[in-house]
Chain A
Amino acid sequence: MQIHVSTKINGDDAEYLCDPDETLLDVLRDRLGLTGAKEGCGTGDCGACSVTLDGRLVCSCLVLGAEADGREVTTIEGMAEGEMLHPLQKKFLDHAALQCGICTPGILVAAKNLLERNPDPTETEVRYWLAGNLCRCTGYDKIVRAVMDAATEMRGS
Protein backbone atom coordinates (compact mmCIF):
# COMPACT_ATOMS: atom_id res chain seq x y z
CA MET A 1 0.00 0.00 0.00
CA GLN A 2 1.31 3.43 -0.89
CA ILE A 3 1.86 6.08 1.75
CA HIS A 4 0.59 9.61 1.40
CA VAL A 5 3.22 12.16 2.41
CA SER A 6 2.82 15.90 2.93
CA THR A 7 6.09 17.72 3.22
CA LYS A 8 7.88 20.91 2.31
CA ILE A 9 10.57 20.90 -0.34
CA ASN A 10 12.71 23.99 -0.88
CA GLY A 11 10.09 26.04 0.94
CA ASP A 12 7.13 24.85 -1.14
CA ASP A 13 4.43 22.47 0.05
CA ALA A 14 4.68 19.11 -1.65
CA GLU A 15 2.60 15.95 -1.56
CA TYR A 16 3.30 12.55 -2.97
CA LEU A 17 2.44 8.88 -2.73
CA CYS A 18 5.34 6.52 -2.24
CA ASP A 19 5.99 2.86 -1.53
CA PRO A 20 6.98 1.98 2.06
CA ASP A 21 10.47 0.90 1.01
CA GLU A 22 11.07 3.76 -1.41
CA THR A 23 13.91 6.11 -0.53
CA LEU A 24 13.61 9.87 -0.40
CA LEU A 25 16.19 9.97 -3.19
CA ASP A 26 13.96 7.89 -5.48
CA VAL A 27 10.94 10.01 -4.57
CA LEU A 28 12.80 13.22 -5.38
CA ARG A 29 14.14 11.94 -8.67
CA ASP A 30 11.40 9.67 -9.99
CA ARG A 31 8.21 11.15 -8.57
CA LEU A 32 8.97 14.84 -8.20
CA GLY A 33 11.38 15.35 -11.10
CA LEU A 34 14.05 16.82 -8.85
CA THR A 35 17.00 15.07 -10.42
CA GLY A 36 19.75 17.23 -8.91
CA ALA A 37 20.46 14.73 -6.14
CA LYS A 38 22.31 11.79 -7.68
CA GLU A 39 22.57 8.16 -6.75
CA GLY A 40 26.26 7.27 -6.56
CA CYS A 41 26.56 4.35 -4.19
CA GLY A 42 23.12 3.96 -2.62
CA THR A 43 24.76 3.07 0.68
CA GLY A 44 25.52 6.45 2.25
CA ASP A 45 29.20 6.44 1.36
CA CYS A 46 29.50 8.90 -1.52
CA GLY A 47 27.29 11.87 -0.59
CA ALA A 48 26.05 12.50 -4.17
CA CYS A 49 22.45 12.35 -2.90
CA SER A 50 22.97 14.90 -0.09
CA VAL A 51 19.94 16.97 0.93
CA THR A 52 18.91 18.52 4.21
CA LEU A 53 16.08 17.17 6.36
CA ASP A 54 14.89 19.68 8.96
CA GLY A 55 18.19 21.49 8.49
CA ARG A 56 20.41 18.44 9.00
CA LEU A 57 22.63 17.26 6.17
CA VAL A 58 21.70 13.68 5.24
CA CYS A 59 22.09 11.17 2.44
CA SER A 60 18.66 10.95 0.82
CA CYS A 61 19.44 7.36 -0.19
CA LEU A 62 19.38 6.49 3.53
CA VAL A 63 16.04 8.16 4.22
CA LEU A 64 12.67 6.63 3.39
CA GLY A 65 10.31 8.83 1.43
CA ALA A 66 7.71 8.21 4.14
CA GLU A 67 9.99 9.75 6.78
CA ALA A 68 9.72 13.19 5.16
CA ASP A 69 6.07 13.57 6.19
CA GLY A 70 5.66 16.85 8.07
CA ARG A 71 9.32 17.71 7.70
CA GLU A 72 11.28 20.14 5.57
CA VAL A 73 13.59 19.04 2.80
CA THR A 74 16.00 21.22 0.86
CA THR A 75 17.75 20.09 -2.29
CA ILE A 76 20.21 21.56 -4.77
CA GLU A 77 17.21 22.84 -6.78
CA GLY A 78 16.54 25.32 -3.97
CA MET A 79 20.02 26.79 -3.99
CA ALA A 80 19.99 29.36 -6.79
CA GLU A 81 17.40 32.12 -6.65
CA GLY A 82 15.95 32.06 -10.14
CA GLU A 83 18.82 32.88 -12.44
CA MET A 84 20.96 34.13 -9.55
CA LEU A 85 23.50 31.50 -8.61
CA HIS A 86 24.46 31.04 -4.97
CA PRO A 87 28.00 32.29 -4.19
CA LEU A 88 29.13 28.68 -3.77
CA GLN A 89 27.86 27.81 -7.23
CA LYS A 90 29.65 30.82 -8.73
CA LYS A 91 32.89 29.96 -6.97
CA PHE A 92 32.70 26.35 -8.16
CA LEU A 93 32.58 27.72 -11.71
CA ASP A 94 35.36 30.26 -11.07
CA HIS A 95 37.66 27.62 -9.58
CA ALA A 96 36.70 24.89 -12.07
CA ALA A 97 35.85 22.76 -9.06
CA LEU A 98 34.06 20.12 -11.12
CA GLN A 99 34.53 17.96 -14.14
CA CYS A 100 31.83 15.36 -14.69
CA GLY A 101 29.52 17.04 -12.20
CA ILE A 102 27.91 13.98 -10.61
CA CYS A 103 29.23 14.82 -7.14
CA THR A 104 28.68 18.56 -7.48
CA PRO A 105 25.07 18.93 -6.30
CA GLY A 106 25.81 16.92 -3.16
CA ILE A 107 28.97 18.84 -2.44
CA LEU A 108 27.22 22.18 -2.90
CA VAL A 109 24.38 21.18 -0.56
CA ALA A 110 26.91 19.92 2.00
CA ALA A 111 29.10 23.03 1.72
CA LYS A 112 26.10 25.36 2.06
CA ASN A 113 25.04 23.52 5.22
CA LEU A 114 28.56 23.92 6.61
CA LEU A 115 28.72 27.65 5.93
CA GLU A 116 25.32 28.16 7.56
CA ARG A 117 26.72 26.62 10.75
CA ASN A 118 30.27 27.88 10.48
CA PRO A 119 30.77 30.94 8.24
CA ASP A 120 34.54 30.91 8.77
CA PRO A 121 35.76 27.31 8.59
CA THR A 122 39.40 26.31 8.43
CA GLU A 123 40.59 24.26 5.50
CA THR A 124 40.77 21.23 7.80
CA GLU A 125 37.18 21.76 8.89
CA VAL A 126 36.06 21.97 5.26
CA ARG A 127 37.91 18.78 4.40
CA TYR A 128 36.46 16.84 7.32
CA TRP A 129 32.95 18.17 6.72
CA LEU A 130 33.13 17.06 3.07
CA ALA A 131 34.79 13.70 3.83
CA GLY A 132 31.51 11.99 2.98
CA ASN A 133 31.32 13.57 -0.47
CA LEU A 134 33.41 11.63 -2.93
CA CYS A 135 34.74 13.10 -6.18
CA ARG A 136 36.58 10.87 -8.62
CA CYS A 137 37.53 13.56 -11.16
CA THR A 138 39.16 16.69 -9.87
CA GLY A 139 40.59 15.66 -6.59
CA TYR A 140 39.50 17.85 -3.78
CA ASP A 141 41.83 20.86 -3.82
CA LYS A 142 39.78 22.96 -6.21
CA ILE A 143 36.59 22.08 -4.37
CA VAL A 144 38.07 23.08 -1.02
CA ARG A 145 39.46 26.33 -2.47
CA ALA A 146 36.08 27.17 -3.98
CA VAL A 147 34.35 26.61 -0.64
CA MET A 148 36.93 28.70 1.23
CA ASP A 149 36.65 31.49 -1.34
CA ALA A 150 32.84 31.44 -1.19
CA ALA A 151 32.99 31.58 2.59
CA THR A 152 35.19 34.67 2.40
CA GLU A 153 32.82 36.34 -0.05
CA MET A 154 29.74 35.46 1.99
CA ARG A 155 31.30 36.94 5.11
CA GLY A 156 31.64 40.14 3.11
CA SER A 157 35.36 40.44 3.77
Chain B
Amino acid sequence: MRYESPPTLDDAVALLAAETGTSRVLAGGTDVLVQLRSGMVEPDLIVDIKRIEGMHDIAEEGGGYRIGAAVPSVAMAEHEGLSALWPGVVEAVGLVGSTQVQGRCTLAGNLCNASPAADSVPALIAAGALVRLHGPDGQRDVPAEEVGTSPGRTSLKKGEVVGSILLPARPAGSGDAYLRFIPRTEMDIAVVGAGVSLSVEGDTISQARVSLGAVAPTALLVAEAADAIVGTTLDDAACEKLAAAASAACNPIDDKRGTIEFRVKVSGVLATRAAKIALARAKGEA
Protein backbone atom coordinates (compact mmCIF):
# COMPACT_ATOMS: atom_id res chain seq x y z
CA MET B 1 0.00 0.00 0.00
CA ARG B 2 1.18 3.49 -0.86
CA TYR B 3 0.35 6.53 1.29
CA GLU B 4 0.25 9.90 -0.46
CA SER B 5 -0.62 13.30 0.97
CA PRO B 6 -0.75 15.57 -2.08
CA PRO B 7 -0.64 19.37 -1.76
CA THR B 8 -3.50 20.13 -4.19
CA LEU B 9 -6.82 18.66 -5.27
CA ASP B 10 -5.49 18.34 -8.82
CA ASP B 11 -2.68 16.16 -7.51
CA ALA B 12 -5.15 14.07 -5.53
CA VAL B 13 -7.30 13.59 -8.62
CA ALA B 14 -4.25 12.65 -10.70
CA LEU B 15 -3.17 10.05 -8.14
CA LEU B 16 -6.65 8.54 -7.89
CA ALA B 17 -7.17 8.55 -11.66
CA ALA B 18 -3.80 6.88 -12.33
CA GLU B 19 -4.19 4.12 -9.75
CA THR B 20 -5.08 0.82 -11.41
CA GLY B 21 -5.74 -1.02 -8.15
CA THR B 22 -7.95 -0.17 -5.20
CA SER B 23 -7.71 3.32 -3.75
CA ARG B 24 -9.23 5.07 -0.78
CA VAL B 25 -9.45 8.75 0.10
CA LEU B 26 -8.43 9.47 3.69
CA ALA B 27 -10.09 12.40 5.43
CA GLY B 28 -10.91 11.72 9.10
CA GLY B 29 -10.17 8.03 8.68
CA THR B 30 -12.78 6.87 11.17
CA ASP B 31 -14.26 4.46 8.62
CA VAL B 32 -11.29 3.90 6.30
CA LEU B 33 -8.92 2.87 9.09
CA VAL B 34 -11.46 0.43 10.51
CA GLN B 35 -11.96 -1.13 7.07
CA LEU B 36 -8.22 -1.23 6.50
CA ARG B 37 -7.49 -2.97 9.76
CA SER B 38 -10.32 -5.46 9.51
CA GLY B 39 -9.16 -6.47 6.04
CA MET B 40 -12.47 -5.35 4.53
CA VAL B 41 -10.49 -3.39 1.97
CA GLU B 42 -6.87 -3.82 0.96
CA PRO B 43 -6.13 -0.60 -0.86
CA ASP B 44 -3.10 -0.18 -3.07
CA LEU B 45 -3.26 3.58 -2.57
CA ILE B 46 -4.39 5.86 0.26
CA VAL B 47 -4.73 9.54 -0.64
CA ASP B 48 -4.73 11.71 2.48
CA ILE B 49 -6.45 14.99 1.56
CA LYS B 50 -5.71 16.78 4.83
CA ARG B 51 -2.60 18.58 3.52
CA ILE B 52 -4.60 20.24 0.74
CA GLU B 53 -5.31 23.92 1.22
CA GLY B 54 -8.91 24.73 2.09
CA MET B 55 -9.83 21.22 3.18
CA HIS B 56 -10.10 22.39 6.80
CA ASP B 57 -12.02 25.61 6.03
CA ILE B 58 -15.59 26.59 6.76
CA ALA B 59 -16.07 29.53 4.39
CA GLU B 60 -19.07 31.79 3.95
CA GLU B 61 -20.41 31.62 0.41
CA GLY B 62 -23.45 33.45 -0.88
CA GLY B 63 -25.06 33.52 2.54
CA GLY B 64 -24.39 29.82 3.14
CA TYR B 65 -21.29 27.89 4.15
CA ARG B 66 -18.85 25.82 2.16
CA ILE B 67 -17.37 23.09 4.33
CA GLY B 68 -14.02 21.58 3.36
CA ALA B 69 -13.92 17.82 2.99
CA ALA B 70 -11.54 17.37 5.94
CA VAL B 71 -13.39 19.60 8.44
CA PRO B 72 -14.00 17.44 11.52
CA SER B 73 -17.43 17.38 13.09
CA VAL B 74 -16.22 19.16 16.21
CA ALA B 75 -15.05 22.16 14.16
CA MET B 76 -18.57 22.47 12.75
CA ALA B 77 -20.03 22.49 16.25
CA GLU B 78 -17.55 25.19 17.27
CA HIS B 79 -18.55 27.43 14.33
CA GLU B 80 -21.23 29.83 15.56
CA GLY B 81 -22.47 31.03 12.18
CA LEU B 82 -22.84 27.53 10.78
CA SER B 83 -24.49 26.25 13.95
CA ALA B 84 -26.98 29.11 13.80
CA LEU B 85 -27.83 28.68 10.11
CA TRP B 86 -27.96 24.86 9.91
CA PRO B 87 -28.40 23.56 13.49
CA GLY B 88 -29.93 20.28 12.33
CA VAL B 89 -26.93 19.39 10.18
CA VAL B 90 -24.49 20.29 12.94
CA GLU B 91 -26.46 18.22 15.47
CA ALA B 92 -26.65 15.27 13.08
CA VAL B 93 -22.92 15.07 12.44
CA GLY B 94 -22.40 15.62 16.18
CA LEU B 95 -24.23 12.36 16.88
CA VAL B 96 -21.60 10.30 15.07
CA GLY B 97 -19.37 8.32 17.43
CA SER B 98 -17.48 9.45 20.50
CA THR B 99 -15.56 12.61 21.38
CA GLN B 100 -12.50 10.94 19.87
CA VAL B 101 -14.33 10.18 16.62
CA GLN B 102 -15.82 13.70 16.57
CA GLY B 103 -12.31 15.12 16.45
CA ARG B 104 -11.72 13.38 13.12
CA CYS B 105 -14.95 12.38 11.37
CA THR B 106 -16.16 14.50 8.44
CA LEU B 107 -19.36 15.20 6.53
CA ALA B 108 -17.68 14.16 3.29
CA GLY B 109 -16.54 10.89 4.84
CA ASN B 110 -19.94 10.12 6.32
CA LEU B 111 -21.47 10.72 2.88
CA CYS B 112 -18.91 8.70 0.91
CA ASN B 113 -18.84 5.78 3.34
CA ALA B 114 -22.40 5.40 2.06
CA SER B 115 -23.87 3.67 5.08
CA PRO B 116 -27.68 3.84 4.88
CA ALA B 117 -27.63 4.67 8.62
CA ALA B 118 -25.17 7.60 8.40
CA ASP B 119 -26.52 10.30 10.70
CA SER B 120 -25.40 13.38 8.82
CA VAL B 121 -26.72 12.26 5.42
CA PRO B 122 -30.49 12.74 5.94
CA ALA B 123 -29.71 16.15 7.44
CA LEU B 124 -27.57 17.05 4.41
CA ILE B 125 -30.24 15.87 2.01
CA ALA B 126 -32.96 17.79 3.84
CA ALA B 127 -30.71 20.86 3.75
CA GLY B 128 -30.33 20.65 -0.01
CA ALA B 129 -26.57 20.36 0.34
CA LEU B 130 -24.49 20.43 -2.83
CA VAL B 131 -21.42 18.23 -2.95
CA ARG B 132 -18.50 19.52 -5.02
CA LEU B 133 -16.68 16.70 -6.76
CA HIS B 134 -13.29 17.18 -8.35
CA GLY B 135 -12.27 14.75 -11.06
CA PRO B 136 -10.22 14.24 -14.21
CA ASP B 137 -12.88 16.14 -16.21
CA GLY B 138 -13.00 19.09 -13.83
CA GLN B 139 -15.44 19.82 -11.05
CA ARG B 140 -19.18 19.26 -10.74
CA ASP B 141 -21.75 19.90 -8.03
CA VAL B 142 -24.19 17.14 -7.19
CA PRO B 143 -27.07 17.07 -4.68
CA ALA B 144 -26.25 15.09 -1.52
CA GLU B 145 -29.01 12.57 -2.28
CA GLU B 146 -27.25 11.54 -5.50
CA VAL B 147 -23.97 10.49 -3.86
CA GLY B 148 -24.90 7.20 -2.17
CA THR B 149 -26.21 4.52 -4.54
CA SER B 150 -26.31 1.43 -2.29
CA PRO B 151 -24.68 0.38 0.99
CA GLY B 152 -20.97 1.21 0.70
CA ARG B 153 -21.24 2.46 -2.89
CA THR B 154 -21.31 5.97 -4.36
CA SER B 155 -21.88 7.60 -7.73
CA LEU B 156 -18.36 9.06 -7.71
CA LYS B 157 -16.51 8.27 -10.92
CA LYS B 158 -12.96 6.98 -11.17
CA GLY B 159 -10.58 9.68 -10.01
CA GLU B 160 -13.23 11.81 -8.33
CA VAL B 161 -12.93 13.15 -4.81
CA VAL B 162 -15.18 15.35 -2.68
CA GLY B 163 -13.54 18.74 -2.17
CA SER B 164 -16.25 20.48 -0.21
CA ILE B 165 -19.94 20.52 0.64
CA LEU B 166 -22.09 23.63 0.33
CA LEU B 167 -24.85 24.24 2.84
CA PRO B 168 -26.75 26.91 0.95
CA ALA B 169 -28.25 30.20 2.07
CA ARG B 170 -31.86 30.04 3.21
CA PRO B 171 -34.66 32.57 3.61
CA ALA B 172 -35.33 34.21 6.95
CA GLY B 173 -37.83 32.09 8.87
CA SER B 174 -36.13 28.76 8.20
CA GLY B 175 -35.16 25.89 10.45
CA ASP B 176 -33.90 22.32 10.30
CA ALA B 177 -33.64 19.35 12.63
CA TYR B 178 -32.44 15.76 12.66
CA LEU B 179 -33.58 13.04 15.03
CA ARG B 180 -32.59 9.40 15.23
CA PHE B 181 -33.76 6.41 17.20
CA ILE B 182 -31.16 4.34 19.03
CA PRO B 183 -31.74 2.02 21.98
CA ARG B 184 -29.15 3.83 24.11
CA THR B 185 -28.37 7.50 24.66
CA GLU B 186 -24.98 7.73 22.93
CA MET B 187 -22.48 5.88 20.74
CA ASP B 188 -24.84 3.85 18.61
CA ILE B 189 -25.96 3.43 15.01
CA ALA B 190 -29.31 4.83 13.89
CA VAL B 191 -32.22 2.39 13.68
CA VAL B 192 -34.15 5.19 11.98
CA GLY B 193 -33.06 8.77 11.24
CA ALA B 194 -35.16 11.69 10.03
CA GLY B 195 -34.04 15.10 8.79
CA VAL B 196 -36.41 17.98 8.05
CA SER B 197 -35.66 21.46 6.73
CA LEU B 198 -38.42 24.00 6.18
CA SER B 199 -39.23 27.68 5.79
CA VAL B 200 -42.30 29.60 6.96
CA GLU B 201 -44.15 32.65 5.74
CA GLY B 202 -46.19 33.83 8.67
CA ASP B 203 -47.45 30.61 10.25
CA THR B 204 -47.57 28.66 7.02
CA ILE B 205 -44.84 26.34 5.79
CA SER B 206 -43.75 27.66 2.40
CA GLN B 207 -41.15 25.04 1.52
CA ALA B 208 -39.87 21.82 3.05
CA ARG B 209 -37.56 18.88 2.48
CA VAL B 210 -37.80 15.61 4.38
CA SER B 211 -35.19 12.86 4.36
CA LEU B 212 -35.04 9.47 6.07
CA GLY B 213 -32.06 7.30 6.99
CA ALA B 214 -31.61 3.61 7.87
CA VAL B 215 -34.91 2.60 6.28
CA ALA B 216 -33.70 1.81 2.74
CA PRO B 217 -30.42 0.96 0.96
CA THR B 218 -29.66 4.69 0.78
CA ALA B 219 -30.90 7.74 2.65
CA LEU B 220 -34.15 8.87 1.02
CA LEU B 221 -35.46 12.26 -0.08
CA VAL B 222 -39.21 11.91 0.49
CA ALA B 223 -41.02 14.48 -1.64
CA GLU B 224 -44.47 13.19 -0.61
CA ALA B 225 -43.64 13.87 3.04
CA ALA B 226 -42.61 17.44 2.22
CA ASP B 227 -45.75 17.94 0.11
CA ALA B 228 -47.85 16.83 3.08
CA ILE B 229 -46.77 19.82 5.16
CA VAL B 230 -46.16 22.61 2.62
CA GLY B 231 -49.04 25.10 2.78
CA THR B 232 -50.01 23.97 6.28
CA THR B 233 -49.28 25.22 9.79
CA LEU B 234 -48.15 21.69 10.72
CA ASP B 235 -51.50 21.06 12.39
CA ASP B 236 -52.51 17.56 13.47
CA ALA B 237 -53.92 16.64 10.08
CA ALA B 238 -50.68 17.69 8.35
CA CYS B 239 -48.63 15.75 10.89
CA GLU B 240 -50.67 12.62 10.21
CA LYS B 241 -50.16 12.98 6.48
CA LEU B 242 -46.43 13.59 7.00
CA ALA B 243 -46.11 10.49 9.17
CA ALA B 244 -48.05 8.37 6.69
CA ALA B 245 -45.94 9.58 3.76
CA ALA B 246 -42.70 8.96 5.65
CA SER B 247 -43.75 5.46 6.66
CA ALA B 248 -44.91 4.68 3.13
CA ALA B 249 -41.51 5.64 1.70
CA CYS B 250 -39.62 3.11 3.85
CA ASN B 251 -38.10 -0.03 2.41
CA PRO B 252 -36.12 -1.26 5.42
CA ILE B 253 -34.44 -4.50 6.38
CA ASP B 254 -35.10 -6.60 9.46
CA ASP B 255 -31.96 -6.82 11.55
CA LYS B 256 -30.76 -7.00 15.14
CA ARG B 257 -31.25 -3.27 15.55
CA GLY B 258 -34.87 -3.10 14.45
CA THR B 259 -37.66 -4.89 12.64
CA ILE B 260 -39.25 -3.71 9.41
CA GLU B 261 -42.50 -2.96 11.25
CA PHE B 262 -40.72 -0.91 13.91
CA ARG B 263 -38.69 1.08 11.41
CA VAL B 264 -41.72 1.90 9.27
CA LYS B 265 -43.68 3.11 12.29
CA VAL B 266 -40.82 5.07 13.87
CA SER B 267 -40.01 6.84 10.57
CA GLY B 268 -43.36 8.59 10.72
CA VAL B 269 -42.96 9.46 14.38
CA LEU B 270 -39.46 10.88 14.01
CA ALA B 271 -40.24 12.80 10.81
CA THR B 272 -43.13 14.48 12.60
CA ARG B 273 -41.08 15.33 15.68
CA ALA B 274 -38.20 16.65 13.57
CA ALA B 275 -40.65 18.79 11.59
CA LYS B 276 -42.00 20.28 14.83
CA ILE B 277 -38.49 21.18 15.99
CA ALA B 278 -37.61 22.62 12.57
CA LEU B 279 -40.80 24.69 12.63
CA ALA B 280 -40.08 26.03 16.11
CA ARG B 281 -36.59 27.01 14.93
CA ALA B 282 -37.98 28.63 11.81
CA LYS B 283 -40.25 30.77 13.99
CA GLY B 284 -37.40 31.62 16.31
CA GLU B 285 -39.06 29.79 19.19
CA ALA B 286 -36.30 27.26 19.71
A residues engaging B (CB < 8 A)?
1, 3, 20-21, 23, 42-45, 47, 50, 53, 56-59, 61-64, 66-67, 69, 110, 114, 128-133
- Give 1 or 0 for each of B75-110: 1 = CB within 8 Å of chain A CB: 000000000000000000000011111011000000
| B100 & A59 in contact (Cβ 8 Å cutoff) | yes
Tell me if B98 and A131 are in contact (CB < 8 A): yes
How many interface residues does B have (CB within 8 Å)?
26
Nearest CB in chain B: distance from A33 CB, A: 22
Q: Which residue in A3, A43, A58, A131 is a CB contact (below 8 Å) of B34?
A: A43
Q: Is the interface of B mostly helix, strand, loop or mixed?
A: mixed
Contacting residue for B104 out of A3, A58, A110, CB 8 A: A58
Q: Within 8 Å of chain A (Cβ to Cβ): is B20?
A: no
- B50 part of interface (Cβ distance < 8 Å): yes
Bound CA span A1–B4, Å: 12
> Min CB distance, A47 to chain B, in Å?
6
Most buried by B among A47, A57, A62: A62
Question: Which of A3, A21, A61, A132 touches B187 (beta carbons < 8 Å)?
Answer: A132
Q: Who on chain B is nearest to A110 by CB?
A: B99
Contact of B2 with A by CB under 8 A: yes
Contact B103 A21 (CB under 8 A): no
Closest chain A CB from B120 CB (angstroms): 17
User: A128 and B186 in contact (CB under 8 A), knowing A66-B48, A110-B100?
Assistant: yes
Residue contact A129 to B99, C-beta cutoff 8 Å: yes
Give me the interface of B with A, judged by CB distance under 8 Å.
1-3, 5, 26, 29-30, 33-34, 36-38, 46, 48, 50, 72, 74, 97-101, 103-104, 186-187
Write out the residue numbers on chain B whose beta carbons fall within 8 Å of the beta carbon of A132.
97-101, 187
> In angstroms, how far is the closest chain A Cβ from the Cβ of B116?
20
Given known contacts A20-B46, A62-B104, A42 and B37 CB-to-CB distance under 8 angstroms: yes
From B33, B50, B72, B186, contact of A62 by CB (8 A): B33
Name, among B3, B26, B99, the residue most crowded by chain A CB atoms within 10 Å (CB to CB). B99
B4 to chain A, nearest CB (A): 9
Distance of A47 Cα from B5 Cα, bound (Å): 26
